[in-house]
Amino acid sequence: MTEIIRLNSYISKCGICSRRQADELIAQGKIKINGERITVLGTKVDPGKDEVEFEGKLIKPIRQYHYFALNKPVGVVTTLKDPQKRKTISHYIARTGMRLFPVGRLDYDSEGLLLLTNDGELAHRLQHPRYEIEKGYVVEIHKPLDQNALNRIKEGVTLDDGFFMPKSINTVNNRGKSTTVHIVITEGRNRIIRRLFDSLGYNVVTLKRVSIDVVELGDLKAGSLRELNSSEVKTLKKRAGLK
């Protein structure tokens, strides 16, 4: 007897997207169960009996997962399709010959490490605040960072969507007309780092994500991909509470 599970979980097990993104597909009416279009979040499915469709095709849980690191360039949208016809990460995913999706996002003007996978459960957990997955960024701001502003960041700042305090922040270069810092965060609110500095009167010139937990960007060139090694995958799963 098969286990009845939530539709968003089933979609993620099929390697379509994470559970959070699956909820968006359901709400948009892009999923059918036994020929009926579903828009209610929380709908459940019996994998042994029900037929689930996405984009007119039946989807089934996948048996082999894949994990890649991409160095996303500036000027690329972290989506598979873009109504404004801008370049998306689909351009890079196509090189693998696999159906992958991004774990979280990097905004259009940011660059750096982006994970791609077809493992929906791991993707969901890596983005969930509960697991406090550390993400490291190198950020250049337009003027010197004074000690008062640095102390405020370390103590936490209240933004328009709530309190935010990074895990750590260290100055890399504070000479000349700009400042470069390394900042580590454990959450993924929209443009949170840019909004943090903006709240203190600093403009972000460049923002690059250089690490996600044990996965380092290293010398991976912009636009290039590499497959994660078994040690990296094992550690990520452990951090996310998966075997």
Q: What is the CATH number of the domain that holds 28?
A: 3.10.290.10
Once rounded to an integer, what is the mean pLDDT over residues 30-34?
Answer: 96
How would residue 188 be classed by pLDDT, with cut points 50, 70 and 90? confident
Beta carbons within 10 angstroms of residue 49's beta carbon: 9
* Statement to judge: residues 146 and 114 lie in one domain: no
- Packing angle of the helix pair 19-27, 120-127 (nearest 10 deg): 100
- pLDDT attached to residue 142: 95
Spatial separation of the C-alpha atoms in residues 159 and 179, rounded to whole Å: 22
Residue with tokens 């991409």: 70
Q: What is the CATH number of the domain that holds 141?
A: 3.30.2350.10
- pLDDT attached to residue 15: 87
* Statement to judge: residues 116 and 77 lie in one domain: yes
Spatial separation of the C-alpha atoms in residues 150 and 171, rounded to whole Å: 9
Q: For residue 118, count CB atoms less than 10 angstroms from its CB and return exposed for 0-12, middle for 13-18, buried for 19 or more.
A: buried
* Statement to judge: residues 116 and 73 lie in one domain: yes
* Statement to judge: residues 160 and 206 lie in one domain: yes
* Statement to judge: residues 113 and 223 lie in one domain: yes
Once rounded to an integer, what is the mean pLDDT over residues 135-151?
Answer: 96
What does the mean pLDDT of the chain come to?
94
- Residues 197-227: tens digit of each pLDDT: 999 999 999 999 999 999 999 999 999 999 9
* Statement to judge: residues 15 and 113 lie in one domain: no
Q: Show Cβ contacts of residue 106 under 8 Å, excluding neighbours closer than 6 positions.
A: 72, 78, 112, 114, 209
* Statement to judge: residues 235 and 191 lie in one domain: no
Q: What is the CATH number of the domain that holds 227?
A: 3.30.70.580
- pLDDT attached to residue 17: 87
- Would the CA dihedral through 229, 231, 232, 234 be positive or negative? positive
* Statement to judge: residues 143 and 30 lie in one domain: no
Give how many domains the chain has, as a whole number: 3
* Statement to judge: residues 93 and 163 lie in one domain: no
What stretch of H or E contains 38? Answer: strand 36-38
Question: Is the pLDDT score of 1 beyond 60?
Answer: no
- pLDDT attached to residue 2: 64
- Residues 59-116: tens digit of each pLDDT: 998 889 999 999 999 999 999 889 999 999 999 999 999 989 999 999 999 999 999 9
Q: Show Cβ contacts of residue 229 under 8 Å, excluding neighbours closer than 6 positions.
A: none
- Packing angle of the helix pair 230-239, 120-127 (nearest 10 deg): 60
Question: Is the pLDDT score of 175 beyond 80?
Answer: no
- Residues 154-165: tens digit of each pLDDT: 999 999 999 999
Phi and psi based region of residue 75 (left: phi greater than 0; alpha: psi -120 to 50; beta: remaining): left
* Statement to judge: residues 172 and 109 lie in one domain: no
* Statement to judge: residues 207 and 138 lie in one domain: yes
Of these residues, 107, 119, 146, 161, which one is catalytic? 107
Q: Which domain holds residue 9?
A: 5-58
Active site residue 107: yes
Write out the two tokens for 16.
């379509």
How would residue 18 be classed by pLDDT, with cut points 50, 70 and 90? confident
* Statement to judge: residues 226 and 117 lie in one domain: yes
